[in-house]
Amino acid sequence: MTARQLRIPPRFNGPPNSGNGGYSCGLVAAQFHGTTRVRLHSPPRLDTDFTVRENPDGTVALLDGETLVASGALAELDMDVPRAPTLEMARRGTEGFICYDDHLYETCFVCGPRRPHKDGLALYPGPVADWSLLACPWDPAADLLDESGFVRPEIVWAALDCPGCFGAVGPELVPMLLGELVADLRAPVPGDETLVVFAWPIGRDGRKIYGGAAVANQSGEVLACSRSTWIVLKQA
């Protein structure tokens, strides 16, 4: 087995005291080449030294001391992706975002409306026509790009996270946490154009809710897509 360290900077929070689920999954997925499944087992603490352990079976574990935070493995993603909405449709979608004024995590790196300009992703997906498809535009900040001008992969994973949540649950929000994210980064995501992020519901099984999400360019080409599993929290 081999091991190395990583940290989640405070900027990339979801809830105030833990990492955004998609960003955290993206850090684990960086250990692989290809479509990857990452499962979150406990909230990843911010600004903490984690151990990334590569196991003999090809899987990866993210550890906080002895606590398993996340696990990753190569996977397949067999999923029908809807046709990408146009940029104008995505812009109209943001008008229906339901958490501008009542957001459980208002400073979330991905979808929190109380972030400074360009500090978060500012993804606010709303229904394109109805709740079968949600969309919003995305203008990645320059400091989230790699040296070639493409969005860093862990940021793409983050962009697939919260939109997948809103797409999965629809207008009736319930407290839930990301359990698993399977993502296929098909092509580099350019940082010099406005992108379209869209999401849709897949189904529900008890306390598990499933959603799809994707990032497309203005030509409608899907550059990345994901299937997310959300766990509804038990009511006290």
What pLDDT does residue 172 have?
A: 85
CA atoms within 13 A on the CB side of 105: 23
Q: Note down pLDDT in tens along the chain; length 236 residues.
A: 566 889 999 999 999 999 999 999 999 999 999 999 999 999 999 999 999 999 999 999 999 999 999 999 999 999 999 999 999 999 999 999 999 998 889 999 999 999 999 999 999 999 999 999 999 999 999 999 999 999 999 999 999 999 999 999 999 888 888 999 999 999 999 999 999 999 999 999 999 999 999 999 999 999 999 999 999 987 65
CATH code, residues 2-74: 3.10.129.10
Residue 72 is predicted with a pLDDT of 98
Q: What's the whole-model pTM score?
A: 0.96
Full DSSP string of 154-175: HHHHHHHHHHHHHHHHTTS---
Collapsing DSSP to helix, strand or coil, 136 comes out as strand
Q: In this structure, what token pair is assigned to residue 87?
A: 């940029």
Q: Which helix (H) or strand (E) holds 223?
A: strand 222-232
pLDDT at residue 21 in the model: 97
Q: Where in the chain is the domain with CATH 3.10.129.10?
A: 2-74, 87-232
CA dihedral 114, 215, 227, 13 (to 10 degrees): -30
Between CA 10 and CA 177 the distance in angstroms is 19
CB-based contact 188:229 (threshold 8 Å)? no
Nearest to 231 by CA among 176, 168, 175: 176
Fold of the 87-232 domain: Thiol Ester Dehydrase; Chain A (3.10.129)
